[in-house]
Amino acid sequence: MTVTGPCNAPDVVDVVALGESMVTFLPTRPGRLADVPSFDRGIGGAESNVACVLAAAGHTTRWISRVGADGFGDHLVEAIGGYGVDVSHVRRDPARPTGIYFRTAGDRSTDAHEVAYYRAGSAASAMTVADLDLEAVRAGRILHLSGITAALSADCLALMRELTAPRPDRPLISFDVNHRPALWRDAHGPEVLLELARGADIVFVGDDEAREAWGLHGARAVREALPEPEIVVVKQGRGGAVALDKDTDDLLCEDATGTATFVRALNVDVVAAVGAGDAFAAGFLSATLRDLPVRDRLRHGHLTAAATLTTPGDLAPPPPRALADRLAALDDTAWGRLRLGPGWTQADEDERAEKEARTP
């Protein structure tokens, strides 16, 4: 799949990402929210995370959203713009606040993980088809969206339906399912997410999300439920990820050829798992923009996720392109031997070579 997009549109960029970003408060130590005495401020938002990582990787990106006319809104616009993302189309809302949330330091997959959202009635939840510059939204080779936006309000859902509707001049639509049951006000969330995913060109979904939302087990079942997208990427956590294109007849896992490609995940010394899914999507989209083979797109997804997994925050600089290309080109045996820990993206070339040589 080659990305073309609206090349003749004004101010065209590689990727436009639309969705809510919030100010994130990260604990200064492990423990319950009730026990943590202080927090460090960061930024968090699935779509803006993707835009920031892609910008850091050298792509032109634009983030479109609404924030409050408050200090938190100022911080988001300045911080995301600081990554090199175009924030000129972010609207300020004087009547609604910028969303914020607090979380514990632990992995969100454990029972001890806590998240406290303060986003009800946020500025981003007031996004509508009428008050956004749809020409700027569509002026990208790829438009990246997620299911989170659809859950924010009826107006946001109408916007998502407009953006994923078939039209001859639309960009390539990338959709991360991002099933968040707590955000939905009724039981129709899974049905809506399936509808939106079927309108996209590239879909990212975790196998755990597919089971919880749709009762689907396995990548083949997901592909059969999503016949329209050009490619569906099913993430299998520590196991790896499989990409299935539109003509999949059989699911081939290891040493895949044809229309289904599996790449095992890297061995990573995890510091924090938050943001890894967004980083994976950014790595995959970066390689898609470069028209790399599907196997390499998956490998770049894993490598970019590994950069985030080995740092404490939601965002981490991706590996330098030359390093990522070199690692993505390894044979299967060498790929399986890699083990990446904190600081691996910043090590100099000699140190990297020595570390890779020592990997059992």
Catalytic residue among 14, 176, 201, 278: 278
Residue 35 among the catalytic residues: no
Residues in contact with 183: Cβ distance below 8 Å, sequence separation at least 6, in sequence order: 148, 151, 152, 189
Let me know if 178 is exposed, middle or buried by CB neighbors in 10 A (0-12, 13-18, 19+).
buried
- CA dist 255 and 243 (Å) reads 13
| Overall pTM surpassing 0.75 (yes/no) | yes
3 state SS of 298: helix
- Kindly state the average pLDDT of the residues 97-124: 82
Return mean pLDDT, the chain.
89
- CA dist 124 and 149 (Å) reads 9
Residue whose C-alpha is closest to residue 160's, from 183, 135, 129: 129
Residue whose C-alpha is closest to residue 27's, from 104, 115, 101, 99: 104
Write out pLDDT tens, residues 256-288.
Answer: 333 789 999 999 888 877 789 999 999 999 999
- CA dist 273 and 169 (Å) reads 37
Write out pLDDT tens, residues 206-256.
Answer: 999 999 999 999 999 999 999 999 999 999 988 999 999 986 444 444 333
pLDDT of residue 163: 98
Residue whose C-alpha is closest to residue 193's, from 173, 220, 175, 211: 175
* Lowest pLDDT segment from 3-7, 251-255, 294-298, 355-359: 251-255
Write out pLDDT tens, residues 26-61.
Answer: 888 888 999 999 999 989 899 999 999 999 999 999
